[in-house]
Amino acid sequence: MWRGILGHDDVVDRFRQALASGRLASTYLFVGPAGIGKRRFALELARALLCTEAADVVLEPCGRCESCRLFAAGNHPDLDVIGLPPDKSALPISLFIGDDQHRNQEGLCHRIALKPFFGGRKIAIVDDADHFSIPSANCLLKTLEEPPPGALLILIGTSPSRQLPTIRSRSQVVRFAPLDQDTVARVLLETGLGTDREQATRAAELSDGSIERALQMTDPALGDFRRQLLNELNAPVLESVRLARSVQAFVDEAGKEPAQRRNRLRIIIGFAVEHFRAEMRAFSDVAAESAVRALDACLASLENVDRNANMGMVIQNWCEELAAAKTRKSSPPRLSPV
Q: By CB under 5 A, name the binding residues for Zn ion.
A: 51, 53, 61-62, 65, 68
What is d(CA 92, CA 96) in angstroms, rounded to the nearest whole number?
8
| Residue whose CB is less far from Zn ion, 51 or 155 | 51
| Residue whose CB is less far from Zn ion, 65 or 113 | 65
Minimum distance, C-beta of residue 149 to Zn ion, in the bound complex (Å): 21
Minimum distance, C-beta of residue 226 to Zn ion, in the bound complex (Å): 44
Hey, CA dihedral for 305, 219, 157, 120, is it positive or negative? positive
Minimum distance, C-beta of residue 44 to Zn ion, in the bound complex (Å): 13
| Residue whose CB is less far from Zn ion, 61 or 157 | 61
89 DSSP assignment: S
Residue 157's closest CA among 40, 33, 48?
33
What is d(CA 163, CA 289) in angstroms, rounded to the nearest whole number?
27
Residue 127's closest CA among 196, 35, 242?
35
| Residue whose CB is less far from Zn ion, 3 or 334 | 3
Minimum distance, C-beta of residue 227 to Zn ion, in the bound complex (Å): 49
> Three-state secondary structure along 59-82?
CCCCCCCHHHHHHHHCCCCCEEEE
What is d(CA 107, CA 143) in angstroms, rounded to the nearest whole number?
12
What is d(CA 43, CA 246) in angstroms, rounded to the nearest whole number?
40
| Residue whose CB is less far from Zn ion, 7 or 61 | 61
Q: Which residues contact 56 (CB under 8 A, 6 or more apart)?
A: 19, 24, 48, 49
| Residue whose CB is less far from Zn ion, 56 or 232 | 56
* Cα-based distances in Å from 123 to 80, 82, 137: 6, 11, 18
Minimum distance, C-beta of residue 120 to Zn ion, in the bound complex (Å): 11
| Residue whose CB is less far from Zn ion, 5 or 311 | 5
Minimum distance, C-beta of residue 51 to Zn ion, in the bound complex (Å): 3
Minimum distance, C-beta of residue 76 to Zn ion, in the bound complex (Å): 11
Task: Residue 335: count other Cβ atoms within 10 Å of its Cβ.
Answer: 6
